[in-house]
Amino acid sequence: MRRTAAKRDPLDALGNPYRRDIVAMLARRPRSVQEIADRLPISRPAVSRHLRLLGGAGLVSDEQVGTRRLYSLERGYLTQVWGDIGARFKLFAENTRPRKRSKTGARELAAPPPRSTRD
């Protein structure tokens, strides 16, 4: 039976380079803690803590297979997270004013629109 922990902020979970490395490894195939630890310069307990945090964010689930516990990527949720990130960047880009170049060639923010003097 597969266990999935309650979800926390996935972007916080992906903020650590080792956790991003773990996600990249799990994107290829499910792995045990030992398999992951063998490929990273961190201890097995550290890998377990990173997996617990990734699981808490809903990015990773684990499954007992014989005597081993295998961790796998929750691809559906990760796809949803990347879609949400893409939508946020698009919204940001659409609502950001273009920049003007100064005489020195440096970029600066466009001047805000003039305010109404009526009050």
pLDDT in tens, 14-43: 999 999 999 999 999 999 999 999 999 999
Please state the φ and ψ torsions of residue 100, each to the nearest 5 degrees: -105, 155
- The full set of domain ranges for the chain reads 2-77
Choice between 77 and 72, residue whose per-residue pLDDT is larger:
72
What CATH number is given for 2-77 in this structure? 1.10.10.10
By three-state DSSP, how is residue 70 classified?
strand
Q: With 0.85 as the threshold, say if the pTM is over it.
A: no
CA–CA distance, 27 with 49 (Å, rounded to integer) = 19
